Amino acid sequence: MDHALEVADLTITFGAAPVIQALSFSVARGSTLAIIGPNGSGKTLLFRALIGAVRHGGTVRWAAGTRIGYVPQKLDVQRDLPVTGKDLLVAKAAVARSSDVETDRALELVDLPAATARRPIGTLSGGQFQRLLLAAALIGRPSVLLFDEPTAGIDEPGQEQLYEMIHRVQRAHALTLLLISHELSVVYRHATNVLCLSRGRRCFGPPTEVLTPAAIQECYGAPLRYHRHD
């Protein structure tokens, strides 16, 4: 199978203790990998290792010519900064050397009106802000999208809309999607494979195999309710 990403024996140490040890998996081009696991299991750390932001052992091999769009879980910026969504998009477009047309197209794809993008980022709602970050990630024609908890802080109808939009964008651009999520119902519905990170048992495979009540209890240390869409 044609792989967008191959990870072998990945070990990440935070302080003295390894958070992730000898992790190996691969992601097929155009597929969706959902990464789940309890807080502190190293999901965001794994993303940061994949983009080369933290030191690690083992190998992370992206397919030749991979361009990554990254949507972080949260931004460490003050809410009262006079930085608009447009400022962020223009900055990304300038760095990625992409055109205004591509920026407009990205806004269109994520259903964010241009007038909303012209507002300071601190005044945007959770859903609008996530759309803005996704639009920024789409500038530069990425082949892979990394999305860290896309629906954190968003109400339930908003979550559903956001996931639908993400998958619409994925189909439109034939993107490979790596997604950290706690929404097991959504993961069950959209993911090609699921990687469950846990200090105890670690698992990898299709949702039908990985998202069983017993496996989830082992991964999270507690039973979790979710909707299976068979």
Partner 1 sequence: MTDQLMAVLLSAAMAIAAGLVGCFVVIRRMSLASDALSHVALPGIGVALAFDLHPMVGAGAALVLGALLVWGMERRTGISTETIIGVVFSLALAVGTLLATGEELVDALLGSPGKLGGWEVGAGILGAAAVAAFVLVARHRLVLSLVSADVARTAGVGVARVELLFLLGFALTVAFGLRYLGVLLMGSLVIIPAATAKHLARSLGEMLTISVTVAVLSTLAGEIIADRLGYPSGPVIIIVAGGLFLLSLPLRRIR
Q: Which residue lies nearer to partner 1 by CB, 87 or 160?
A: 87
Q: Which residue lies nearer to partner 1 by CB, 70 or 188?
A: 70
Residue keyed to tokens 């931004």:
75
Nearest distance from C-beta of residue 125 to partner 1, angstroms:
14
Nearest distance from C-beta of residue 71 to partner 1, angstroms:
8
Q: Which residue lies nearer to partner 1 by CB, 54 or 224?
A: 54
Q: Which residue lies nearer to partner 1 by CB, 88 or 210?
A: 88
Nearest distance from C-beta of residue 145 to partner 1, angstroms:
10
Q: Which residues bind partner 1 (CB under 8 A)?
A: 48, 51-53, 68-70, 72, 75-78, 80-84, 86-88, 90-92, 94-96, 118, 120, 122-123, 133, 136-137, 140, 146
Nearest distance from C-beta of residue 87 to partner 1, angstroms:
4
